[in-house]
Structure 1
């Protein structure tokens, strides 16, 4: 079932500039000859209120189909937009002053519900937390708001953000804008869906095993998993424990590659200097590598032909356009990707304190859940938890309390080899997932396919997820672009090239 609809298509920078001058560029008319980046555009004078209202209208049009936005703040957003209009009218220092102080002035923003957004639900899909409302903004959200962004609402997640499909018994299931019968991914699936469906300009996600990249891949948009420790992950739920804060990253999600960099500068705040984001990148001077698959893991399915083919096409275009040689490499340790991810997620912190059990999180604010009992209740339709969350709880029970020395060795070897390969001027391409967006609930039958993203979390590397057009079924293709630690600017530069070469985000309604 295709989602047929027109779209609001413009980049953050275009939108901000037009708000500042009270001129706005639309290409949402159902006319294939009207494109934002071309010469044929329709220019209308509008206010910031009209911009926000246009996105509210868009959400109201598509959200009944997508179930991506689980709680809106439309009235407050319109009030904030009116304040933007007043600020512009009263500003005497010129547009440059406003642009420097408020680089996201009036830009509509969506927020993953696992981030604290003042006055909004803060449940992560847990029925037991259905009355929990955020009393503060998470630092990341606060920085975006201080830059002028206007949050429109919060978006759906998987239960406790630990599954590859955004489904829970509090809000229901989120659908993919390219095919409503398919998943939007998880855990930032609500973000991926509403952004892919053009319901917001920019959004934010968190990623400990692929929760930014998988939804971005499935929904045909761009996303960036930042080098860990740069963008704040405070005031998210659930909180990290053990060594999990080493693998969790927050980052931007959007339809246009050029929006990633300005968003990341704001989200990184005082640590932005660590990422050399102002450094100009010459792609001809980079070293490129491609890894076509994980070497045949027993836990993951083989990468589909259309994804293998599109990654090869990327390689051929790079070689033709820049005269570089893209070297194919393989790391045998990747076949142990799931075991590595699972082992390191369970390691204790420096004080020897182990991670908080998932069953304990499932039971909060009460007693820990019993996964086996919840499974029996689920069988008769009485559990408050999804089968996926129950499965995660059961899997945790089977995890050995003692880490395998073999798996530790494989990880350390892989880490050393990858860091030596990349250095400060290398990037590699790696499949985002073994297949394009599957049907709803099908990830239950392939639960470990997230390993293609999860292993990169354990290595602590930055990754930009890039859309690469659509397959014959009209579903998004894509690839991960991976760089060395703190070399986020390299993967963002490659994302711009891939967008220009392969077209970037595609309108779901055009298929």
Structure 2
């Protein structure tokens, strides 16, 4: 095993630079507190609490519900109706589901129950359809036949998907029943879920707070008890940011195993990409079960059925990626990582090792470069529904004067496009160097515990004042490593905290095994509502 000093050679900083950096971080820390104080002053009184959940079906894992339907302990109609009722209770408060198919879903459930009752569906059929009769939802930016497919773009308002995305077809083939689609940021490109067609989605833990993006509608609905199986996509933290802010599990798998056909404009033939599809769940056990469906014939490559003996897993951790563009850490999130490290210190044969990698501080720059290399994606054309091309300077001026079809987050993306692009040679060299260092450190039996964000979910729109706080997520898209977002309880303000668990490519089973261990030790998902 290589020493961490070989991974990250220490470079002495000049005393002047050290003092300057400390001063900058101190000012930034108190500026963030001031931002929260101002936003809180205008928003705290608007908070609405999520209704109590009285139906025990809602609190069960998707795996458990599937088993009870298979064993005739529950009917699919009961399960679907329970989730429809729950959505009707919570959605007026959180604004997560934007298009539904309740009656069609209930009819599918009744047919399943009938087929089970009369023997048309046999016990052996459940092997090929492991989620038979269990409800699911996915993002509005993913094609679900007959449901809204606008990506939050005004020019697509009213547009319905004519077919199912490939991953939607897979989960349906596994027997799951679609309830509807959920809200996204405009064209999926922001760390808050808000668009001019469907408005803003609220965090069930505190409705004045951000749910993250772009799978924010999914995470919010899941946390509020409105869906059993939740499917998201992730090109820059789009599964893990909402999972962090809404206190649920989220997994971004090893890249290039799941078809991208049906995700926004993608046809599935774009080649190398950072985008991926993965599950969000309230229970860690559902991650493996859903992931098996999504990766289909590639499941063996991920070793999802391979047992993991946690005491033998080598644990490394990064306590601070040292990205100067990201806000300073607060105690809640620092302590969250330390609790995990201390737990593995007690149970692992090899003590967790603190490591540093210089490349992590370049996460934002590297992600920007690799986003520019995404095949078949052209932001300036896509944002117009490919009817023309956006004009960043003119559209920005229009937005702040007479108004436009774009959200302020889209304007931020315009501005980012105008900023200098990292040089190709530097970006590719730094990416390769960081990947090599991490592969050497992780091997085939190691995981890296990594911070998710400097603090829990901010107030709505506060992300405009700290637009780079998503950088801790994007580095794993750049490297295409599997990573699981793990909830680790609530902060002193009652907001979710959590960490990321990273492994080398095709070692997804290690991420999920460690997530299960942390759930066992610290409780995992904590409902944002009272239960009977």
Pairwise CA distance, 1:403 = 2.3
DSSP 3-state at the match of 1:187: coil
Q: Distance in 2 between matches of 1:119 and 1:195?
A: 22
Matched, 1:373 2:394: yes
DSSP 3-state at the match of 2:209: strand
Q: Distance in 1 between matches of 2:240 and 2:49?
A: 22
DSSP 3-state at the match of 2:208: strand
Matched, 1:235 2:256: no
- Give per-residue Cα distances to partners, 1:43-66, cap 9 Å, x unaligned: xxxx32121111101000000010
Q: Distance in 2 between matches of 1:348 and 1:283?
A: 37
Say if 2:261 and 2:268, in contact at 8 Å, map to a contact too.
Answer: no
2:425 — aligned with what?
Answer: 405
The runs of 5 or more residues in structure 2 that have no matched partner are 1-46
Closer/same/farther in 2, CA of residues 486 and 282 from structure 1, 3 Å limit: same
Q: Distance in 1 between matches of 2:374 and 2:206?
A: 41
Matched, 1:64 2:64: no
Say if 2:315 and 2:447, in contact at 8 Å, map to a contact too.
Answer: yes
Aligned pair partner of 1:338 in 342, 364, 387: 364
RMSD over aligned Cα atoms: 1.9
1:4 — aligned with what?
Answer: 50
Pairwise CA distance, 1:268 = 0.7
Say if 2:260 and 2:267, in contact at 8 Å, map to a contact too.
Answer: no
DSSP 3-state at the match of 1:464: strand
Closer/same/farther in 2, CA of residues 130 and 475 from structure 1, 3 Å limit: same
> After the TM superposition, which segments of 4 or more aligned residues of structure 1 sit over 6 Å from their partners?
240-244
Closer/same/farther in 2, CA of residues 473 and 484 from structure 1, 3 Å limit: same
1:446 — aligned with what?
Answer: 466
Q: Distance in 2 between matches of 1:255 and 1:268?
A: 20
Aligned pair partner of 1:91 in 119, 138, 163: 119
Aligned pair partner of 1:427 in 447, 454, 477: 447
Matched, 1:107 2:134: yes
Matched, 1:480 2:480: no
Q: Distance in 2 between matches of 1:407 and 1:143?
A: 36
Pairwise CA distance, 1:361 = 1.2
Say if 1:103 and 1:148, in contact at 8 Å, map to a contact too.
Answer: yes
Q: Distance in 2 between matches of 1:415 and 1:372?
A: 37
Say if 2:332 and 2:492, in contact at 8 Å, map to a contact too.
Answer: no
Q: Distance in 2 between matches of 1:258 and 1:166?
A: 27
1:257 — aligned with what?
Answer: 284
DSSP 3-state at the match of 1:58: helix
Say if 1:462 and 1:488, in contact at 8 Å, map to a contact too.
Answer: yes
Q: Distance in 2 between matches of 1:59 and 1:73?
A: 12
Aligned pair partner of 1:13 in 63, 69, 92: 63
DSSP 3-state at the match of 1:176: coil
Closer/same/farther in 2, CA of residues 366 and 503 from structure 1, 3 Å limit: same
TM-score (norm 1): 0.91
2:511 — aligned with what?
Answer: 491
Aligned pair partner of 1:304 in 292, 308, 330: 330
2:72 — aligned with what?
Answer: 22
Closer/same/farther in 2, CA of residues 292 and 381 from structure 1, 3 Å limit: farther
Pairwise CA distance, 1:92 = 6.4
- Give per-residue Cα distances to partners, 1:342-381, cap 9 Å, x unaligned: 11211376xxxxx643121111242111122222222235
Say if 1:243 and 1:345, in contact at 8 Å, map to a contact too.
Answer: no
1:388 — aligned with what?
Answer: 409
Q: Distance in 1 between matches of 2:86 and 2:374?
A: 45
Aligned pair partner of 1:172 in 185, 199, 204: 199
Say if 2:311 and 2:347, in contact at 8 Å, map to a contact too.
Answer: no
2:33 — aligned with what?
Answer: none
Aligned residues: 481
Matched, 1:134 2:180: no
The runs of 5 or more residues in structure 1 that have no matched partner are 25-46, 350-354
TM-score (norm 2): 0.87
